[in-house]
Structure 1
Amino acid sequence: MHIKKILALLCVFNCFYILTQDDWSVWGDNPVLYPKDVFYPNNLEEVISIIKKANLDNHKVKAIGSCHSWSNLINTNGYIINTDKLDKILYVDRDNKKVKVECGIKLKDLFSFLAQENLSLPNQGFIAEQSIVGAISTGTHGTGHTGVLSDFISEFEVIDSQGNFYKVTKDTNSDWIPFLRIGLGALSFIYSVTIECDNLFILNHKRVLSTWQEAMDNYKSNYQNNDYYMFMAHPTSDMVLNFFWNKTDSVTKRRFIYDIPENIVTNAFLSRAAVRSLKYAPQVGSRLIELWLFGMQKDSHNQYSYLSLSPLKDPISVEYYIEVEFGVHIDDFKIAIDKFKELYNSYENQGYNLTALLTCRFSPGFDKSFLSMSYKRDTAYITINIINYFDKYLEFFNKLEQMLEPYLPRPHWGKFHLLNKEKICNLYGQETFDRFNDIRDKLDPNRMFSNDFIERCFG
């Protein structure tokens, strides 16, 4: 199809959306929540009061932030605690580069505040819409040679299911820290976290197209030779967009006008129109993804890290796509990609119209967060967006997980997966599983913070 016709089609569907959309702003409609009640506390005392009330009423409690999740991690028919108003900066220790914040602060607001203090996080994910505790509790990560987001948390303030308040530091209850970092909301209500930061730094960034073969041949060297590296691609198109970031002492010269093509044309218009059009015309999916990747190229430039590492400023609602992500050992990355392509092609050959976008990132193994996808393992993260919600996506993800099973794939906690107790013990170890439940027994003996998801995974 001629490129002018494609752009015309995008204009039609994007305008149709603008004229007909409801005033509705959640990440997606899978799953739908039916809570007994929803609370919006303003401070610690109100949170404690809500939890004590739930305990007396024998109701479950789940906290929510931005709901950036495709799993049923926050499902409950009990009480929901919305953390949007728990968004305060509690203190800044500039000498030791630490900041203490309430649980509900959005990452984008945290990053902006830190920049004013000449601070930044060592790493961050591709988007910055999540709340800080929602992000760490599900294992949000970026790419590069630092840890995942949760690894930067050194202290917690938490409330157990009886309404008791605890400070968790290197001197007090320190054995809880590796589990609270990615605690899935199953251990306690996390009121505040203390974050270890870096000085604000500038990155030289560029985005360059390559072929799939070049990406597969060079992924290790690209990862090893750059401070941060990732790539995005469509599985059946020979177009891969490589992202390179490296620290620099040069000053940033970026201006707002430089970002207009990406923020307004590529992100706000082209990407949204492309994704929404796939719902009505999935047969043009591959070409639309190519067009989007082509539009995301960038020449070498300098920018502050907090702006550059999270470039997707206005993410698309997950109403339009579903996401799965696996972490495999970096040496198994090629075979994992081959397995995915094999399965993808088999569905296309059967006549299914499915459109996928892959995002591939890399990190070393650390042991700070015991339920991290990269726990003690150099990891390649493979994120798969099935953009048009084709009818058999559940079957597709199930088959993919089975095909990757020999390579011990660790799914992202906040995305679609089929984890259960047996699989978790196999992926993270029986000792980790048992110690996680020991802390649950201490902080939540009546399983107030549990739901079907937690019961399936941890009993």
Structure 2
Amino acid sequence: MRRFFRERREKREIAQAVGREGKRRIFSWIHVFRGEAEALIPNDETKLAADIAKGCFSCVGQSHSYNGVQIVPGINAMMMPEGGFKNLSYDPATGIATVGASISVRTCKEFLLTHDRRLLNSGNFMAQTVVGALMTGTHGFGERAVMADAIHALTFLDGNGQRVRLQRGDADFPYVALSFGTIAPIIEIEIETVPTEAFISNSHINRLSKLRELQQGTIASNWCVLPYSDPEDPMMMLHALAHCAVAQRVPEKKSGGGIFAPIARWVIGNYQTLDRFLPMLRRPMQRVLDRLNVKQHTQIQTDPRDLDYLYDPKPGLASERAPDILHGMFSTTYTGYNLAFFVPLEKGPAVVKFIMREADDLRDLGFFLKGIISVREITGTSDVKFAANHREPMAAIDLFADPRDYAWLERLQRLVLQYEPATRPHFGKSALMPEFRSSLGQDNLDRLMNIHRQHYPKANLMFSERVRAFLDVGKPLPGEAAADARLA
């Protein structure tokens, strides 16, 4: 009970501090990473340039919501989402939108809908800034899934507070367009958009062995498995999109399920609640669903004005209404820690089965994966050097656990890295480890750091200890525990 009220008080204090400069406690989304820093709010470009001149700084808001790659204790923190970079415009002649660094994904999407336009792709966490989503590799699924692949140009301030604009075609652009916090502060992005569009969405409950068969004729796929179902052929929920070739609305279709469908639907519909409050029942619940062996297919036409890109038949956000029984399984759980990484596309099913076996073997130690193992298929390739699919199509694997168990997810990631050296990081949600350097290319990382030093020769732009260790660029910063304790 005391813990509950303490957490409520901490969250209230954080909320009250938003918009206020001075010493503040800064957290990643679910408070796994944290640190105390001097918060600076850049109301405009002049103020930001003056703050840069004060000394070492980092930019909060460029990172994804989970791993806090820009949580750097003890130095000035530019609170970009709270700043005044709220410029947002659209050029109908080019289809390019210009988005300021203080604009959230949701605000951007709502604005584009007024022009009947949408982003090429997006993750589902709507509160992060567009710049933060782009810089750390946030993605959807399908063609051009990594959001940074849509960047046309970006503008940032260098260490002297001077504007620098890079656009597609410039030699440095492919390294900077997804630079996980090492190139900052970005003040605006120019990004490609596309017309709003309806799709045919096919959702299946079936077995993983049927994946490729059920994907026939579709253009993009997102699927997940229950980690404690049959390890040889796990229970799968598949969500696949196809082009909608007709102007009128296609009626919803449902088939399959059998006599146990109502039971399975009830369990799936209440799964997140049961999973949250009764974690020890995760495995038996999934075993029951596995034994029911329900197979079901639902086909709907998505609404072109869908905001969260979960591809449902209604506009707006799915979180604002009761979830669809299948699509709800793909929603982010706000009670878990999320870790993600990328493996070659065709190895996705094998890696998932490997993770299932390793996770199940840890249950006697009290560890259980939370909910699902989710996979978004990223087809095609990107010229952005640090995009997941720079070299080949990839599968983005998302693992969930209770926040106190996040270290177990890092262990599972390390095991995958041991057997699949082509694994690449999601800079917002992976545990950044030196083992990733080979798949990213040491020459690419060296080039990025050369660009960094070119624009910040005074070394006044700082990035977190996790990024510094990953890049092998020096000892802990003052304000980090190791440095304070004189261990480094």
Q: TM-score with structure 1 length normalisation? A: 0.79
Separation in 2, partners of 1:234, 1:373: 25
| Partners of 1:188 and 1:107 in 2: CA distance | 19
Whether 1:347 aligns to 2:362 is: yes
Question: Is 1:377 aligned to residue 389 of structure 2?
Answer: no
Matched residue SS, 2:338 = strand
* SS of structure 1 residue aligned to 2:90: strand
Q: Does 2:48 correspond to 1:33?
A: no
Quote how far apart the aligned CAs of 1:418 are.
Answer: 4.0
8 A Cα contact 1:31 1:75, kept in partner: no
Counterpart pick for 2:191 among 183, 188, 195: 195
**Alpha-carbon distance change, 325 to 305 in structure 1, aligned in 2, over 3 angstroms:** farther
Distance, in Å, in 2 between the alignment partners of 1:310 and 1:38 is 35
Partner of 1:236: 228
- Once residues 290 and 137 of structure 1 are traced to their aligned partners in structure 2, the CA distance between those partners, rounded to angstroms, is 41
* 2:444 matched residue in structure 1: 432
Distance (Å, rounded) in 2 between the aligned partners of 1:317 and 1:232: 14
The separation in 2 between residues aligned to 1:317 and 1:73, in whole angstroms, is 23
Alpha-carbon contact 1:205-1:308 (below 8 Å) kept: no
Question: 1:126 maps to what in 2?
Answer: 124
Distance between the aligned counterparts of 1:45 and 1:78, measured in 2?
20
**Which letter does structure 1 place at the counterpart of 2:48?**
V
- Which of 410, 431, 441 is 1:397 aligned to? 410
- Structure 1 pair 308–158 and aligned structure 2 pair: CA distance change class (3 A): closer
| Structure 2 equivalent of residue 137 of structure 1 | 135
What is the match of residue 446 of structure 1?
458
Cα distance in 1, alignment partners of residues 149 and 287 from structure 2: 34
- Which residue does the alignment assign to 2:21? none
Distance 2:187 2:248 in 1: 36
- Is the CA contact (8 Å cut-off) linking 2:85 and 2:187 kept in structure 1? no
Aligned match of 2:57? 60
Q: What are the superposed Cα offsets for residues 325-379 of structure 1, whole Å, 9 maximum, x if unpaired?
A: 1211112223212221120121125564443421111122423221112111111
- Rounded to whole Å, the distance in 1 between the matches of 2:271 and 2:163 is 45
- 8 Å Cα contact 2:376/2:397 also seen in 1: yes
Aligned-CA RMSD value:
3.3
Which letter does structure 2 place at the counterpart of 1:433? L
After TM superposition, the structure 1 = structure 2 runs for residues 237-276 of structure 1, keeping only pairs within 5 Å, are 237=229, 238-251=234-247, 270=270, 273-276=273-276
Match of 1:96 in 2: 94
How many Å separate the matches in 2 of 1:277 and 1:381? Answer: 28
- CA change 1:154–1:364 in 2 (3 A) is same
Given that 1:323 and 1:385 are in contact with CA atoms closer than 8 Å, whether structure 2 keeps it comes out as yes
- Report the AA paired with residue 149 of structure 2: D
> What's 2:419 paired with?
406
Counterparts in 2 of 1:252 and 1:183: CA distance versus 1, 3 Å: farther
Higher alpha-carbon deviation: 187-196 or 367-376: 367-376
The higher relative CO (CA closer than 8 Å, separation ≥ 6) is in: 1
Unaligned ranges ≥5, structure 1: 1-12, 255-265
- Alpha carbons of 1:317 and 1:329: their partners in 2 closer, same or farther (altered >3 Å)? closer
Q: Identify if the C-alpha distance between structure 1 residues 170 and 150 changes in structure 2 by more than 3 Å, giving closer, same or farther.
A: closer
8 Å contact from structure 1 (residues 210, 241) kept in 2: yes
1:144 CA displacement? 0.7
Question: What is the alpha-carbon distance in structure 1 between the residues aligned to residue 362 and residue 147 of structure 2?
Answer: 35
Cα distance change, pair 433–287 in 1 and its aligned pair in 2 (3 A): same
Cα deviation, residue 83, structure 1 = 2.0
DSSP-derived class of the 1:210 partner = strand
Structure 1 partner of 2:373: 358
* One-letter code aligned to 1:243: H
AA aligned to 2:58 is V
Q: CA 1:405–1:86 in structure 2 vs 1: closer, same or farther (change >3 Å)?
A: farther
Shift of 1:191: 0.3
1:148 to 146, 149, 157: 146
Alignment-derived partner of residue 164 in structure 2: 166
Match of 2:103 among 97, 105, 125: 105
Which amino acid is 1:42 matched to? N
2:114 maps to what in 1? 116
- Specify the code of the residue in structure 1 equivalent to 2:95: K
Structure 1 stretch 235-244 or stretch 82-91: which is displaced more?
A: 82-91
| Partner of residue 341, structure 2 | 326
TM-score, normalised relative to structure 2: 0.75
1:367 to 382, 386, 393: 382
Partner of 1:258: none
After TM superposition, give the deviation of residue 411 of structure 1 in Å: 2.2
Partner deviation per Cα, 1:228-249 (whole Å, 9 max, x = no partner): 2111222113532211222325
Unaligned runs of 5+ in 2: 16-27, 251-265, 312-316, 320-330, 474-488
Measure the CA separation in 1 of the matches of 2:445 and 2:337. 28
Partner of 2:304: 304
Kindly indicate whether the alpha-carbon contact (under 8 Å) linking 1:325 and 1:383 is maintained by their aligned counterparts in 2: yes
* Counterpart contact for 2:155–2:166, Cα < 8 Å: yes
Matched to 2:74, the amino acid is N
Aligned to 2:46: 45
Larger helix proportion of the pair: 1
Shift of 1:416: 3.7
Secondary structure at the residue paired with 2:276? helix
**1:141 Cα deviation from its structure 2 partner:** 0.9
Question: 1:121–1:197: 8 Å Cα contact kept in structure 2?
Answer: yes
Q: Give, in angstroms, the shift of residue 89 of structure 1.
A: 3.6
Q: Which residue of 1 aligns with 2:350?
A: 335
Q: 1:64–1:74: 8 Å Cα contact kept in structure 2?
A: no
- 1:71 CA drift (Å): 4.5
Moved more, 154-163 or 393-402: 393-402
What's the CA shift for 1:410? 1.1
Aligned to 1:263: none
Q: Is the 8 A contact 1:203 1:308 kept in 2?
A: no
Distance in 1, Cα, partners of 2:366 & 2:470:
35
Q: Separation in 1 of the partners of 2:196 and 2:85?
A: 22
Distance in 1 (CA, whole Å) between partners of 2:418 and 2:147 is 26
Percent identical: 17
Deviations 1:360-416 (A, max 9, x none): 111224232211121111111111112x3465x424522442344332211211114
Equivalence for 1:225: 217
Please give the secondary structure, in 1, of the residue aligned with 2:182.
coil
